[in-house]
Structure 1
Amino acid sequence: MSSEENKSAAEWGPMRSFGRIKSRKLKPQQANLFETLLPQIEASDAHVTEALDSGRELWLEIGFGGGEHLAAQAAKNPQVTFIGCEPFLNGVGSALRHIDEVGLENVLILANDARPLLDRLPPASLNRIFILFADPWPKARHNKRRFVQPETVAAFARVLKAGGAVRFATDWANYADWALERFLACPDFEWPAQGQADWNAPPADHVTTRYETKGLGDCRPVFFDFIRR
Structure 2
Amino acid sequence: MSQSETRSRAFFGRRRGKALRDAQAERLASQLPQLRLDPGSPLPEDGVAGLFDMPVDGTVLEIGFGGGEHLLHRINEAPRTGFIGVEPFVNSMTKFLGGIEPADEKRVRLYDDDAVHILDWLPDACLERIDLLYPDPWPKRKHWKRRFVSPDNLDRFARLLVPGGRFRFASDIDSYVNWTLAMVRAHAAFDWPARHPDAWNEPFAGWPGTRYEAKAFREGRRPAYLEFIRR
Q: When the two structures are superposed, what TM-score results if normalisation uses the length of structure 2?
A: 0.88
Q: Report percent identity of matched pairs.
A: 40
Name the residue aligned to 1:227: 229
Count of residue correspondences: 221
After TM superposition, the structure 1 = structure 2 runs for residues 41-60 of structure 1, keeping only pairs within 5 Å, are 41-44=35-38, 49=44, 51-53=48-50, 54=55, 56-60=57-61
Q: Give the gaps of 5 or more residues in structure 2.
A: none
Are the counterparts in 1 of residues 56 and 80 from structure 2 also a CA contact under 8 Å?
no
Query: Given the superposition, is the C-alpha separation of residues 24 and 189 from structure 1 closer, same or farther in structure 2, using an over 3 Å criterion?
Result: same
Name the residue aligned to 1:18: 12
Give the aligned CA root-mean-square deviation in angstroms: 2.2
Name the residue aligned to 1:34: 28
CA–CA distance in structure 2, aligned partners of residues 177 and 163 of structure 1: 23
Name the residue aligned to 1:161: 162
Structure 2 residue identity aligned to 1:214: K
Shift in Å at residue 209 of structure 1?
1.1
Name the residue aligned to 1:179: 180
CA–CA distance in structure 2, aligned partners of residues 11 and 111 of structure 1: 15
Q: Secondary structure at the match of 2:104?
A: coil
CA–CA distance in structure 1, aligned partners of residues 2 and 132 of structure 2: 17
Structure 1 residue identity aligned to 2:151: P
- Per-residue deviation, residues 34-92 of structure 1 (Å, max 9, x unmatched): 12111221123579737424453010000001111111110111100100001111111
Name the residue aligned to 1:5: none
- Per-residue deviation, residues 129-171 of structure 1 (Å, max 9, x unmatched): 0000000011111111111111001100001000000000000
Are the counterparts in 1 of residues 129 and 165 from structure 2 also a CA contact under 8 Å?
yes
Q: Secondary structure at the match of 1:154?
A: helix
Name the residue aligned to 1:4: none
Structure 2 residue identity aligned to 1:210: R
Q: Give the gaps of 5 or more residues in structure 1.
A: 1-7
After TM superposition, the structure 1 = structure 2 runs for residues 134-153 of structure 1, keeping only pairs within 5 Å, are 134-153=135-154
After TM superposition, the structure 1 = structure 2 runs for residues 86-101 of structure 1, keeping only pairs within 5 Å, are 86-100=87-101
Shift in Å at residue 204 of structure 1?
1.8
CA–CA distance in structure 1, aligned partners of residues 82 and 203 of structure 2: 23
CA–CA distance in structure 1, aligned partners of residues 65 and 227 of structure 2: 17
Query: Given the superposition, is the C-alpha separation of residues 67 and 57 from structure 1 closer, same or farther in structure 2, using an over 3 Å criterion?
Result: same
CA–CA distance in structure 2, aligned partners of residues 75 and 55 of structure 1: 14
Are the counterparts in 1 of residues 67 and 95 from structure 2 also a CA contact under 8 Å?
yes
Q: When the two structures are superposed, what TM-score results if normalisation uses the length of structure 1?
A: 0.89
* Larger deviation, residues 164-173 vs 36-45: 36-45
Name the residue aligned to 2:65: 64
Structure 2 residue identity aligned to 1:37: Q
Structure 2 residue identity aligned to 1:169: A
Name the residue aligned to 2:104: 104
Structure 2 residue identity aligned to 1:221: P
